[in-house]
A and B are shown apart, each in its own frame.
Chain A
Amino acid sequence: MRNSVLYTIEKGELDKLIGILHRDGYTVVGPTVRDGAIGYEAIESVQQLPIGWTDEQAPGHYRLKRRDDDLYFGHVVGPQSIKKFFFPPKQRLFGIRREGENDYVFEATQPEPPRYAFVGVRACDLAAVRVQDRVFNDVMPDPYYAKARSQAVFIGVNCAEPGGTCFCTSMDTGPRCTQGFDIALTELKSTFTVEVGSDKGRKLLEALEHKTTDANTKHLVDLMMQSAAEHMGRSLNTDGLPEMLLNNLQHPHWDEVAKRCMDCANCTLSCPTCFCSNVEDKTDLTGDHAERWRTWGSCFTLEFSYHTGGYNRSSTAARYRQWLTHKLASWHEQFGTSGCVGCGRCITWCPVGIDITKEANAITDDVKRFRAEQERQRAEEVGS
């Protein structure tokens, strides 16, 4: 039960809200159907939302399905998060031009980011933005990220029907939006309830026809959230997980995963918190221009760990272990939080369906079994 004031708006008001955001100069980004999936793209009106669509998700499996109602947000998260809007997949950092024989001119750096308004962002993705903030914004701000982030508007949506690979409850990030939003919506049959999360959000609400939500509806929303939390497609045992993983770096299960893993990097590229990049300097044929580019990288590539002396993670097992232990264990030391928000993308979008929850739980369960067996033997020895 959440003790915040809820307001109710008719569904038609959402289109008005999108209109207001456009009028205020925002690039409105929302979920929309493209190439067999529901992803975040720039949208003009509610008509582009995936009305009446849902997504069936399982390890390595995603299918669009028709719903028997016309909910706007009757789906969960798609192939990519909103990460790409703050941390673009390919970005020119700067250019250099030769002037005369011995002079160089630095050319303008990154472009001005658009003012984004994200509509329909889930609690897990809002949590992911807070995780990425620690990398790109908190210590040494990345200028593009910091600017795009500070001027963005977040219209969250609470999840009533978690997907087959969702486990936000395990990571304590959802299914309800609790922070990082300007407005959070819960979709009902013909209305939305609205929770205000910031002054920006309050101003937007005030521009819409709204009333205070009655106690029965408020209770209904609570029940929906409770039910969603109880119906996660996956769960991850996080109790003592960082120590468990870091103390079992030689566990045979890493090699077992490596037999299935293709090093294809899809898990890291679909992850809303993975932040690694390649930085490349390019020259052109004339030798008069050079550019520095940053592109999404991945710890699953060989070059990622290349340094003088060679590759320090030359096996698939070592690379998978690096990714999983960073995400679930050493991220805590580095950033004071888990790197995983439980969105389930790495499970759905792994072409061969490797499941982070299953692999981590397999190690945890095996170690627990081993310890229990040791205890039993010790007890027997003491007893005899």
Chain B
Amino acid sequence: MVRDNKPKLAVYKFSSCDGCQLSILDLEDELLALTGAVEIAFFLEARRKVQPGPYDIGLVEGSISTPEEAERIVQVRKECKYLVTIGACATSGGIQALKNWADVEEYKRVVYASPQYIQTLETASPIAAYVLVDFELRGCPVNKYQLVEVITALVAGRRPQIPTYPVCLECKREGNVCVMVTEGTPCLGPITQAGCGALCPTYGRGCYACFGPSESSSTEALCTHCEKTGTDKPTIVRMLRSFNGYLEPFKQVGDEYERQVGNQ
């Protein structure tokens, strides 16, 4: 069914690596259906032609890390009916949110020859810290099929079916053998939201939590177990502070372990 008056889609970039936007272009088999369902009106990574707003669906990649971004996101919110964040940066602050635990002034001095030209905020924050967000899609990068599901649901006027339970459900449906149980590999799958199809455990690695905490995310229980089975506290802090370290409960538990390391 080809629609007249297709909903207009806009894709925005903030502080990010562009990987989530590339997930849209990576939708090879679905791209024609996507352009049949929505009008891609603003997507600088894909085309120069820009249609003016307002837009029906705005996909936002990246975190808010600079004063300019903090202003721009307010404008973006105003021109979009539905605002959907895509990926870890936009949803949790991303890997750059590691600066939230560091002295930004010191980094500026050490990294840049002329730090006076650097305009940056003290923190890298999720979009939802600045404006109202209608839906947050997790992942580093997002899963392209989940992205299609969100757009499909918005176009059809139904709720997106994005599970919030842990990776373990997907992992066992895939028939994977648990790497924690057979190898003692620390795996964040039990406390991480599904969506990736258990990609890392399928290749015999532990989950890195790039989809962020699951609905009930028993972070403390997992960390207590990892500690008991030989993972040291600094490693646990690093495990929690990767792609989504600034999201609760990863932040709280990571901070607690860091306090304990400091007290040792």
Q: Which residues of A contact B (CB under 8 A)?
A: 34-37, 39, 60-64, 79-80, 84, 89-90, 98, 259-266, 269-270, 280, 282-288, 295-298, 300-303, 316, 348-349, 351-353
Contacts and interface: CB of A to CB of B under 8 A. Distances in A.
B225 A351 contact: yes
A287 B36 CA distance: 11
Interface stretch (B104-112, B151-159, B237-245): B151-159
B182 interface: yes
A286 B33 contact: yes
Contacts of A301: 163, 165, 169, 215
A80 to B, nearest CB: 7
B182 A35 contact: yes
Contacts, number: 133
B172 A285 contact: no
Interface string B135-152: 000000000000011011
A351 B177 contact: no
Among B37, B158, B172, B191, the most chain A Cβ lie within 10 Å of the Cβ of: B172
Interface string B105-121: 00000000000000000
Contacts of A98: 1
B29 to A, nearest CB: 11
B225 A352 contact: yes
- Per CB-CB distance, the 6 closest pairs between chain A and chain B, nearest first, are A264-B190, A269-B172, A89-B173, A301-B165, A285-B33, A36-B182
A296 B218 contact: no
Contacts of A79: 177-178, 181
B4 interface: no
A89 B173 CA distance: 5
B168 A265 contact: yes
A60 B30 contact: no
B161 interface: yes
A286 B1 contact: yes
B152 A284 contact: yes
Contacts of B161: 280, 282
B180 A60 contact: yes
Contacts of A351: 178, 180-181, 187, 190, 222, 225
Most buried by A among B148, B180, B191, B204: B180
Contacts of A348: 181
Nearest to A301: B165
B93 interface: no
Contacts of B149: 282
Given A282-B149, A285-B33, A265 B177 contact: no
Given A34-B177, A302-B164, A351-B180, 10 more contacts: A36-B177, A36-B183, A60-B225, A62-B182, A262-B221, A287-B155, A316-B216, A349-B178, A352-B222, A352-B225
B177 A285 contact: no
Contacts of A84: 175
Nearest to A61: B181
Contacts of B33: 284-286
B80 interface: no
A260 B221 contact: yes
B178 A266 contact: yes
Nearest to B158: A283
B218 A261 contact: yes
A187 B187 CA distance: 37
Contacts of A260: 221, 224-225
Nearest to A88: B173
Interface in B1-42: 1, 30, 33-34, 36-37
Interface string B211-239: 00011101011101100000000000000
B190 A296 contact: no
A283 B173 contact: no
B172 A262 contact: no
Nearest to A351: B180
Given A36-B177, A60-B181, A80-B175, A283 B218 contact: no
A316 B1 CA distance: 45
Nearest to B166: A264
B222 A285 contact: no
Contact of A259 (B148, B158, B181, B221): B221
A35 B203 CA distance: 10
B166 A265 contact: yes
A266 B176 contact: no
A316 B165 contact: no
Contact of B189 (A35, A39, A264, A302): A264
Nearest to A58: B181
B221 A287 contact: no
A260 B1 CA distance: 51
Given A79-B177, A264-B190, A296-B173, A316 B168 contact: no
A287 B156 contact: yes
A356 to B, nearest CB: 16
A302 B165 CA distance: 7
Contacts of A259: 220-221
A88 B187 CA distance: 25
A262 B36 CA distance: 43
Nearest to B149: A282
Contact of B177 (A39, A60, A287, A303): A39
Nearest to B201: A35
A259 B222 CA distance: 10
Contacts of A61: 181
B218 A263 contact: yes
B210 to A, nearest CB: 17
Given A264-B168, A301-B169, A35 B204 contact: yes
Contacts of B30: 285
A269 B158 CA distance: 29
